[in-house]
Amino acid sequence: MESSISSPMILPAWQDYTTYRLAQGVTEPSVVGDLKILPDLWSPQCHNQRDILAYLPPSYNYTNRTYPVLYMHDGQNLFDQKTSFAGEWRVDESMEILARERIEAIIVGIPNRGDERLAEYSPFPDHRLGGGHGKQYLAFLIDTVKPLVDQTFRTQRDPEYTGIIGSSMGGLISLYAFFRHAEIFGLAGVMSTSLWFAKKAIFNFVKTAPYNPGKLYMDTGTHEYDGHWQDQFLFRVASRRHCARNRRMVNLLRRRGYSRTQLHYCEAQGAGHSETAWADRFPGMVRFLFQNQILDT
């Protein structure tokens, strides 16, 4: 199958999200603001295709500004309750509110591929679960998605204005990308991260990777494993271990020189492993990543 990018001069057509979904016979989407969709973008790196979503800030059509860009995994869970797996992150609603604080950004949502999610979000193979296709997935973001976004929209392209965000396995690939591709991503949001994957290989990677002078937001809930076992003792042990791994990573990053202005860590008391929990923490994450980047009025 050929790439959707047939020529440098011919760009695929972005469409209004609501109009596109209604034309497919879907009931009214639960989105606010200006959300675009690029249907069925082919990935020559991953050998699959998916829709790409782009949220534009409220001021986008009324100014000539350029905007920072956040690339977010699990794109079907970000904006629309109708497409979400278990609730949406309310990214569009949150960004509309943050705009009143003069914090605006283009948000690019890259949906996962269902059964291929673990493979694409894992930079290392796990001896039980497999995976390890994260490098190809990041190549898709960097070499296919990002050029299309930069060519279509008014973006700020330097690393200090370009972020990558995800939760769980999406947090793992975001943390990896922050260090592996520091020339692209100067911001990262790493939420409820699967640091356990592949025998915790991410720790050695972060320890030895070249230093990225950007900004990292990390968080976890204290009840991440709530409901995974009927035995509440096992739940409490698993959740404590999860928090301990996050603290270990934060300590490693502190030893590597990340100050409190570069690295923010949050443990949300009582929060579980869910879209609702990540939606609640999303605005605080954006505020931290864009500190000192508030738009002029």
Give 123-162 pLDDT, tens digit per residue. 999 999 999 999 999 999 999 999 999 999 999 999 999 9
Q: Is the pTM of this model over 0.85?
A: yes
Mind listing the domains of the chain with CATH numbers? 15-289 (3.40.50.1820)
pLDDT of residue 1: 40
Q: Give the pLDDT band of residue 226 (cuts 50, 70, 90).
A: confident
Segment 89-111 mean pLDDT = 97
The mean pLDDT value of the chain amounts to 92
Cα within 13 Å of Cα(98), Cβ side: 26
243 confidence band (pLDDT: 50, 70, 90) = very high
In order of 131, 178, 198, 248, the CA distances from 251 in angstroms are 27, 17, 20, 5
**pLDDT band of 295, cuts 50, 70, 90:** low
Task: Identify the pLDDT of residue 238.
Answer: 87
Structural tokens at position 229? 């076992």
> At 188, which helix (H) or strand (E)?
strand 187-191
Secondary structure of 251-287 in the HEC alphabet? HHHHHCCCCCCCEEEEEECCCCCCHHHHHHHHHHHHH
* pLDDT of 9: 47
Q: What is the 3-state secondary structure (H, E, C) of 157-175?
A: CCHHHEEEEEECHHHHHHH
Q: How far apart are CA 113 and CA 224, in angstroms?
A: 24
Can you tell me the mean pLDDT for 161-165? Answer: 98
Task: Give the model's pLDDT for residue 7.
Answer: 45
Computed over its alpha carbons, how large is the radius of gyration of the chain?
Answer: 19
Could you read off the pLDDT of 184-209 as tens digits, one per residue? Answer: 999 999 999 999 999 999 999 999 99
Q: What's the CA gap between 148 and 233, in Å, rounded?
A: 49
pLDDT at 74 over 90: yes
Token pair 């943050």 is found at 98
What percentage of the chain exceeds 70 in pLDDT? 93
Nearest to 105 by CA among 145, 65, 147, 151: 65
Res 260 pLDDT > 70:
yes
